[in-house]
Amino acid sequence: MRILYGVVGEGMGHATRSRVVLEHLLEKGHDIRVVVSGRAHRFLTERFADRPHITLQEIHGLHMDYADNRFRIGSSLWTNLTQAPGGILQNVAAYQRIAEDGFQPELVVSDFESWAYLYGLNHRLPVVDIDNQQVINRCRHDPALLAGRRLDYLMTRIAVKAKLPWAYHYLVTSFFFPPVRKRRTTLVSPILRPEILAARRQPGKHVLVYQTSAANTLLVPTLQSLPWEFRVYGMGRTGVEGNVTLKAFDEKGFVDDLRTARCLVSGGGYSLMGEAVHLHVPVLSVPVERQFEQELNARYLQALGYGEYAERLDAETIAAFVERSEEHAAALRAGYVPHDNTMLFECLDELVALVEAGVPRPRRLASPSMGTWEPGAAKAGAETPAAGEDADDDDGDDWDDYV
């Protein structure tokens, strides 16, 4: 089958999991055209260079500006507005290239990426969405988890709903499994790269710290005031400063530090959080301010006992978390069963087969990899609204959801 695959370039989590899905689709013999923006373009180009049956086309994507662990709305809007004219021309050119080379996709797969989705909509092609953000809109959440952030939740849910409506099916990757409230929605475990699947947990004494802002000048002194060994990625420099080892990013070294860490201190990014949960590494999550999707991840992490959520990092918060890390590790061992990517792959293969057969959008999937699902069950494989849940399938207006 000819597949157009769209990948968001903002944040590398979309690229790393798309790499896994693309490898599977290639193994199944499909021809793939990837449209991708930002840093993800270089990442995927390097990994699929000279591979047959796949080509990559760079497109323009939106840019999000962060500073001091805050999402900067004004500067992000300004940056995107100033780049819009050139970006539109670039995307129009990409559209023309696909038309001119006669690729003619039969299916669109989108990792929360709009260009490929709109291409599919314009050409009346089925679109399969694979992402983690749809859990906000397509699942029902305990009001206690939304306490104090109800408005942020509602606004984010509207944005997520508007991003990719009316898809053929939604494969939602998650380490937590709230009740599904919409049809054509299947929850699957986190998509894991081969390096994580091959890793074996061997808890050590060090605390792994991953952060993305080298401007955080207070981080190292804060860590130096604590009695544990810290291995820190993302500071833009290397060296040993007392009990703090600053490291340059290296995939093999990072995975090794993760699997042997006592615990992890990181932001609210879903991909690393999912990898840590899979390996049973407790996580202290500090989401980007004003980024509700990250905050929801962190709140579920804390509610399940797998780690803790904090609005800011200071010595007291880190110390309290490290001292409780064994409690969180025990909760992970008792509550989270690690899975590989089998369920995702079998569900995706089923969807491809249904599209090939011309079957209309299925309300539910039948892959044996999901096992038996009961209404309201909080587990991977949940895909049908529980009794009394919203049965809306995006075919009509459901603005009443937001009141």
Element (H, E) at 256: helix 251-259
Nearest to 229 by CA among 208, 249, 211, 199: 208
Give the DSSP H/E element, type plus range, for residue 82: helix 73-100
Instruction: Name the band, by pLDDT with cuts 50, 70 and 90, for residue 394.
Output: low
The whole-number pLDDT of residue 83 equals 41
Please check whether residues 41 and 175 belong to one and the same domain.
Answer: yes
> Phi and psi dihedrals of 247, rounded to 5?
-125, 145
Residues 15-37 have a mean pLDDT of 95
136 torsion bin: left (phi>0), alpha (psi -120 to 50), beta (else): alpha
Q: Which pLDDT does position 399 carry in this prediction?
A: 35
> How far are the Cα atoms of 218, 263, 293 from residue 290, in angstroms, in the given order?
21, 25, 9
Q: Which of 84-98, 210-224, 341-355 has the highest mean pLDDT?
A: 341-355
Pair 113, 216 in one domain: no
Give the pLDDT mean for 34-50.
88
Q: Helix, strand or coil for residue 139?
A: strand
Q: Same structural domain for residues 313 and 387?
A: no
Calpha distance 134→173 (Å, rounded): 9
What 390-399 contacts at long range (C-beta under 8 Å, 24+ apart), as own/partner pairs, is 390/140, 390/181, 390/182, 391/182, 391/183, 392/181, 392/182, 392/183, 393/182, 393/183, 393/184, 393/363, 394/165, 394/166, 394/167, 394/182, 394/184, 395/166
Report helix angle 114-122 to 73-100, nearest 10: 50
Question: Would you say residue 14 has pLDDT above 90?
Answer: no
Q: Is the CB of residue 76 less than 8 Å from the CB of residue 64?
A: yes
Q: Kindly state the percentage of the chain with pLDDT values over 90.
A: 66
Last residue of some domain: 296, 319, 335?
A: 335
CATH code at 94?
3.40.50.2000
Which residues are CB-contacts of 301 (< 8 A; sequence separation ≥ 6)?
Answer: 175, 176, 273, 277, 283, 285, 307, 308, 309
For 326-387, the DSSP string reads HHHHHHHHHH-----SHHHHHHHHHHHHHHHTTPPPPSS---GGG----TT--STT--SPPT
Per-residue confidence band for 385, with pLDDT thresholds at 50, 70 and 90: very low
φ/ψ region of 53 (left if φ > 0, alpha if ψ in -120 to 50, else beta) reads left
Comparing 33-37, 79-83, 129-133, which segment has the lowest mean pLDDT? Answer: 79-83
pLDDT digits (tens, 9 = 90+) for 175-203: 999 999 999 999 999 999 999 999 999 99
Whether residues 127 and 152 share a domain: the answer is yes
Over the stretch 243-287, which tens digit does the pLDDT of each residue have? Answer: 999 999 898 999 999 999 999 999 988 999 999 999 999 999 999
pLDDT digits (tens, 9 = 90+) for 321-342: 999 999 999 999 999 999 999 9
Q: How distant, in Å, are the alpha carbons of 164, 272, 300 from that of 277?
A: 28, 9, 12
CB 54 within 8 A of CB 24: no
Does residue 188 share a domain with residue 71? yes
Q: How many domains does the structure of the chain reveal?
A: 2
What residues make up the domain containing 117?
A: 2-193+341-402
DSSP code, position 35? E
The winner for highest mean pLDDT among 90-99, 192-201, 361-370, 383-392 is 192-201
Predicted local confidence at residue 277, as pLDDT? 98
Kindly state whether residues 26 and 140 are assigned to the same domain. yes
Q: 130, 180, 171, 192: which is closest to 339 by C-alpha?
A: 192
- Residue pair 164/117 in contact (Cβ under 8 Å)? The answer is yes
Same domain, 160 and 240: no
Of the pLDDT bands very low, low, confident and very high (cuts 50, 70, 90), residue 147 is very high
CB-based contacts of 33, cutoff 8 Å, min separation 6: 2, 3, 4, 5, 54, 55, 56, 57, 98, 103, 105
Q: With CA atoms as reference, report the closest residue to 230 among 192, 284, 185.
A: 284
Q: Residues near 327 by Cβ (< 8 Å), separated by ≥ 6?
A: 305
**Beta pairing, strands 239-241 & 244-247:** antiparallel
Q: Are residues 173 and 240 in the same domain?
A: no
Q: Pick from 301, 318, 335: which residue ends a domain?
A: 335
Residue 378 and residue 259 share a domain: no
Of 11-15, 34-38, 42-46, 323-327, least confident by mean pLDDT is 11-15
Specify whether 369 is located in the same domain as 226: no
Domain boundary residue, one of 317, 335, 353:
335
Is 345 found in the same domain as 208?
no
Q: Cβ distance 275 to 190 under 8 Å?
A: yes
Residues near 361 by beta carbon (within 8 Å), at least 6 away in sequence: 126, 168, 169, 184
> Residue 183: which of 397, 382, 402 has the closest Cα?
382
Same domain, 18 and 143: yes
Please compute the mean of the pLDDT values over residues 129-147 and round it to a whole number: 95
